[in-house]
Amino acid sequence: MKLTKQIEQLKGLKESELREKVSEFKRELFGLRLNSATSHVKDYSQFKKLRKNVARALTCLNKTSAQK
C-alpha cells in the first residue's frame, strides 16, 4: 500500500480502531523479533517499516485524543 494512502486510512479511523492498529503492529513486530532470534529473517527492512507504522498510528491516536 502506498504511504499516503496508509496515512489517510489511519487518519480516518476512530480512537478505538487506532488502538487496535497499534497493538496489531506491535504484535507483528514482536513476532518478527521472535523469528529473527530463532531463525533467519529474509527481509530485515520489515523491522524499520513496522516501527514506523507504530509511530504513525500513535501520532494519529495522539492527534485525535488531543482534539477532544
Residue with cell 523491522: 47
pLDDT above 90 covers a percentage of the chain that reads 72
Domain coordinates of the chain in residue numbers?
Answer: 16-67
Burial class (CB in 10 A: 0-12, 13-18, 19+), 32: middle
pLDDT band per the 50, 70, 90 thresholds, residue 27: very high
The predicted model gives 4-14 an average pLDDT of: 90
What pLDDT is recorded for position 23? Answer: 97
Summarised one tens digit per residue, pLDDT across range 32-48 is 999 999 988 889 999 99
Q: Of 63 and 67, which is predicted with more confidence? A: 63
Q: Name the grid cell of 12.
A: 480516518
What pLDDT is recorded for position 1? Answer: 64
Burial class (CB in 10 A: 0-12, 13-18, 19+), 10: buried
